[in-house]
Structure 1
Amino acid sequence: MADRSLRGIRLGAQSLQSEEGVVFMERRETTYTCDACGHVTNLMFAADAEPPQTWECRACSAEARLNVGGQAVALEATDEKAARTHWDMLLERRTRAELEELLEERLALLRSRRGAGEDPTRQKIGA
């Protein structure tokens, strides 16, 4: 039985392609220094790519800044807007006084239903 076993390769474990004739993109090494502990992280980027100003330090997960010419770059202020929350969008449509008035109306409605013995979560049958 052992003479007739099939032999093959493990799928996914070895590549069947060779790197012969492949021209790799030009690369450059970029260095980041951790502000918290001074750890140095070296990364490879494509030569024509602009590296980000900050990178997460591999050793301590703090923010590391890009080094250019041996000096850490000064971080530029971003013009990105802060994410708006649901509360922010609600305040754009209504004032706080209007929201308090609506809240009181809804609470009064719920209290009146409870006082009358109605269950606000149950729908009336045949209505």
Structure 2
Amino acid sequence: MAERTLRGARLGGQSFEDERGIEFAARQQIGYTCPQGHVFEITMSVEADVPALWECPRCGAEALSNSGELPEAKAEKPVRTHWDMLLERRSVKELEDILKERLELLRGGEIGPAHLHRANAKKRKVS
């Protein structure tokens, strides 16, 4: 039964819908010019928000709209370093105390690389 319903039609080859009675949305042509001098137009709906920048189809550069509208300047966040993030969590006094504590543990051989512990262990046995 399914074979008979597809007889005479190619899958994906053609549409049986026609455009009679269809009202298309209002459109507008928006012109753009890229830095290399390429000029092109994009068809958009009249209701669409027209972007000030569009990628050039020839070279891929950012093309500026011919309407004269400039793109919005994006607010850039200041660069946060590791030190800035650390200061958000601890005060400088706390950091100095932690550093002093960790240096004492390292010098005492309680923390740190294994080769440092072996050297300290040998010194303790000789003494």
Identity %: 32
Write the deviation string for residues 47-89 of structure 1: whole angstroms up to 9, x where unpaired.
1222100001111111100002xxxx25244344449889698
Match of 2:38? 39
Structure showing the higher helix proportion among its residues: 2
> Of 48, 62, 70, which aligns to 1:75?
70
Secondary structure, in 3 states, of the residue corresponding to 1:52?
coil
Mapped to 2, the partners of 1:50 and 1:111 lie a distance apart of 61
> Within 5 A, what are the aligned runs for 1:108-127?
109=111, 111-112=113-114
Mapped to 1, the partners of 2:43 and 2:70 lie a distance apart of 21
Mapped to 2, the partners of 1:16 and 1:86 lie a distance apart of 62
* Aligned-residue offset at 1:17: 1.9
Mapped to 1, the partners of 2:38 and 2:80 lie a distance apart of 36
* 1:17–1:114 CA distance, 2 compared to 1 (3 A): farther
Report the TM-score, using the length of structure 1 for normalisation.
Answer: 0.56
The alignment covers a number of residue pairs equal to 101
Could you list the runs of 5+ residues in structure 2 that have no partner in the other structure? 1-5, 119-127
> Within 5 A, what are the aligned runs for 1:5-20?
7-20=7-20
Secondary structure, in 3 states, of the residue corresponding to 2:113?
helix
